[in-house]
């Protein structure tokens, strides 16, 4: 049961991360098109420039849980890299319980009014010709927190399995 829960949570992170990764390619191609149009043909578009910013935000915010799952996040591991598997698991649990989850819950809660205010007026870009979806962009904040909370809980459960010697979810 515990393994199924962990695998389900991590599957969501994996599927989301792999889909979002393709947006990086689209963002790169769009950036090249913008540069070509601007410097090759003298054509500029605020909406196209903002769409690169939106894609970057989507990649960063919705890819965070996948990055965390893959253990590719930033870590100061001066001591950590020399720890045993059980000691690493203890550090990961403590980090999840006392840093990640409180931060994510606080940020989620604090973002609700911010995002709600944006939705109430269907906030648009302040730039002439900009995109009319700022409210959708801001919605990524609480979504990011939810995905990190789910992945953080899966990571805590996975590390509890390591400590208890029941590490059977390897590879998820």
The pTM assigned to this predicted structure is 0.87
Q: Tell me, what's the pLDDT at 71?
A: 83
Q: What is the mean pLDDT of residues 151-162?
A: 93
pLDDT at 2 over 80: no
Q: What is the mean pLDDT of residues 99-108?
A: 98
Cα→Cα distances 140→17, 30, 42, 131, 159, Å? 14, 21, 33, 16, 28
Q: Which band of pLDDT confidence, cut at 50, 70 and 90, is reported for residue 155?
A: very high
Point out the least confidently predicted range of 71-80, 104-113, 135-144, 162-171. 162-171
Q: Tell me, what's the pLDDT at 39?
A: 96
Tens of pLDDT, residues 28-52: 999 999 999 999 999 999 999 999 9
Q: Tell me, what's the pLDDT at 168?
A: 55
Q: Which band of pLDDT confidence, cut at 50, 70 and 90, is reported for residue 86?
A: very high
Q: Tell me, what's the pLDDT at 165?
A: 85
pLDDT at 83 over 80: yes
């Amino acid at each position: 049961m515990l393994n199924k829960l962990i695998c389900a949570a991590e599957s969501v992170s994996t599927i989301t991360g792999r889909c979002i990764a393709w947006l990086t390619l689209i963002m790169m191609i769009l950036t090249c098109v913008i540069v070509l149009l601007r410097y090759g043909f003298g054509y500029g578009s605020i909406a196209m420039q903002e769409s690169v910013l939106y894609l970057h935000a989507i990649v960063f915010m919705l890819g965070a849980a996948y990055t965390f799952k893959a253990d590719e996040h930033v870590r100061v591991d001066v001591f950590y890299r020399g720890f045993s598997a059980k000691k690493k698991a203890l550090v990961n649990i403590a980090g999840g319980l006392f840093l990640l989850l409180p931060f994510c819950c606080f940020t989620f809660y604090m973002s609700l009014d911010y995002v709600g205010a944006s939705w109430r007026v269907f906030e648009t870009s302040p730039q002439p010709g900009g995109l009319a979806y700022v409210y959708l962009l801001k919605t990524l904040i609480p979504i990011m927190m939810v995905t990190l909370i789910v992945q953080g809980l899966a990571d805590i459960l996975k590390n509890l399995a390591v400590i208890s010697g029941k590490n059977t979810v390897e590879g998820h």
